[in-house]
Amino acid sequence: MALEDIYRDMSTSRNTVKKYIRLAQLKGLNIVELASVEDHKLERLFAEPTVVSKPRYEQLEEMYVWIELDLKGTGVTRWILWGEYKARYPDGYAYTQFL
């Protein structure tokens, strides 16, 4: 089956198909044999590694409840809340990442 046929049949991008073909080759897996493997097993084979904890994200995550409640207030904007967040965590996320 041609690469073009695969990405059309899968309704995905050509680059995504190429990515998984490369991953299979790097892992020494035969593409033809993979066609008969169950989906949940394929998912385990190609799953991205779990991200280790990131302190910046954990700091922001702790503030989610507070942010959600404050946003309901009159005159409270994300910009204001981000400013308070940055004052508390100077090495925290930039505004565009904070959204």
Residues 42 and 21 in one domain: yes
82 within 8 A of 95, measured Cβ to Cβ = yes
Note whether 33 and 65 are same-domain residues.
no
Residues of the domain holding 33: 3-46
Domain shared by 42 and 62, yes or no: no
Q: Are 34 and 66 within one domain?
A: no
> Given this model, what pLDDT does residue 47 score?
83
Per-residue pLDDT, 1: 67
How many domains in the chain?
2
pLDDT the model gives residue 13:
87
Residues with pLDDT less than 50, the chain: none
Instruction: Specify whether 17 is located in the same domain as 38.
Output: yes
pLDDT at 95: 94
pLDDT of 55 reads 87
Whether residue 60 is found in the same domain as residue 92 = yes
Q: Of 46, 55, 52, which Cα lies nearest the Cα of 21?
A: 46
pLDDT tens sequence across 45-72: 888 777 666 888 888 888 898 899 999 9
